[in-house]
Amino acid sequence: MIKLRNFEKILKHANKAVSFHTSSINETFWVKEKKSGYSNPKNHNFPSKKELIVEGFKELKSEIALWREEVSEKLRMDPIVVYRPGEVDVVYDFQDRNDIDKWVVTSDSDHNEGKSKASLELTNAESGLFHGFVDSQFLKDGKIKRTGYANMRTLRVKKSFKRDATFDWTMYNTLVMKVRGDGRSYLINLNTEGYFDLMWDDAYHYALYTRGGPHWQDVKIPFSKFFRSSKGRIQDRQCPIPLHLVTHVGFSVSAKGQSDGPFNLEIAYIGLEFDPSNQEEFAYEMYQQDKYIVAN
């Protein structure tokens, strides 16, 4: 049994030991940033909540119409009817101005890295003309080592009510397009998005060789031919395209390996096809390596 005097000492010591620690609350939730360093939040004027609500009500009617279209398409979707071997399903074409607005055109000058310029215009032949010029001269600031590129890419695939989505091309095995070029080689880019941030910069590429002249050329490229890169670097470990995770379609042109000067790429349409004669799953042979040897 504890004596009363000892109990008072223990209680007095306990009162001195009890204290409250207060500190500033740190933000523990990480906000994803997918521009790979090009976007700077300090230069952005983010709208207020009131402005977002007002703008949301303005777009409510169009979003509901888009949602109805999605439901209708889902109900009438039948793989036996939709995916017919040998027939091309057009994904992107250039019939009017709304089709042009689905693309974003950039060049090195947009990032203050060079002097290249590019634009996308609608032609009288109901096609899209990606044109401009590439200039390999760069700003001598001690950071930029090479430049001279231009790029066109589709906007992010979205469902109704601004929900991010992806294409599902698992029923196809061939990319089909009708183009008319200037003799330059271009790079076809298919961007995908995985669950982890390590995979956000994954892209799959294949070269588009144009012959120039007044004639159109029909291009058919199996998806098995595309090779994988991340942040512009070809990866040692290759893999087939996850066709259910495609988010963007794009084209790039570079002065590297070619020459400075104007470029012109006219695109009539971009479509998909299931070719029964193409049985190839993946064009690039991979070897089994020990752990930590092959870079991902």
Q: What is the pLDDT of residues 221-239, one digit of tens each?
A: 999 999 999 888 888 888 8
| Burial state string for 160-189 with b = 16 or more CB within 10 A and e = fewer than 16 | beeeeebbebeebbbbbbbbbbbebebbbb
DSSP per-residue letters across 54-91: HHHHHTHHHHHHHHHHHHHHHHH--HHHH--TT--EEE
Degrees to nearest 5, angle at CA 152 with 243 and 64: 65
Strand, helix or coil for residue 26: coil
pLDDT digits (tens, 9 = 90+) for 199-213: 778 899 999 999 988
* pLDDT score of 267 more than 50: yes
pLDDT digits (tens, 9 = 90+) for 44-62: 566 676 776 677 667 777 7
One-letter amino acid for residue 122 of the chain: L
* pLDDT score of 104 more than 80: yes
**Bridge partners, residue 262, by sequence:** 133
Q: Could you give the strand order of the β-sheet that contains 246-254, starting from the edge strand earlier in sequence? A: 103-107, 149-154, 246-254, 185-192, 202-209, 227-230, 233-234
> pLDDT band at 137, cuts 50/70/90?
confident
Total residue length of the chain: 296
| pLDDT-wise least confident of 10-14, 214-218, 291-295 | 10-14
Q: Which candidate, 249, 242, 274, 277, places its Cα nearest to that of 174? A: 274
| pLDDT-wise least confident of 90-94, 196-200, 254-258, 279-283 | 196-200
Instruction: Tokens for 62, please give them.
Output: 């169009």
Mean pLDDT of 158-181: 87
Mean pLDDT of 269-278: 92
Number of alpha carbons in the 13 Å side-chain half-sphere of residue 161: 4
Between residues 69 and 185, the one the model is more confident about: 185
Q: Which fold has domain 85-273?
A: Jelly Rolls (2.60.120)
pLDDT digits (tens, 9 = 90+) for 20-42: 445 444 444 444 556 555 555 55
CA distance 282 to 143: 38
Q: Measure CA 135 to chain center.
A: 24
Instruction: Tokens for 296, please give them.
Output: 């991902």
pTM, two decimal places: 0.74
pLDDT at 38: 54
Tokens 């956000």 belong to which residue? 200
> pLDDT band at 75, cuts 50/70/90?
low
Pairing of strands 227-230, 233-234: antiparallel
CA distance 254 to 181: 14
Question: What proportion of the chain, given as a percentage, has pLDDT over 90?
Answer: 36
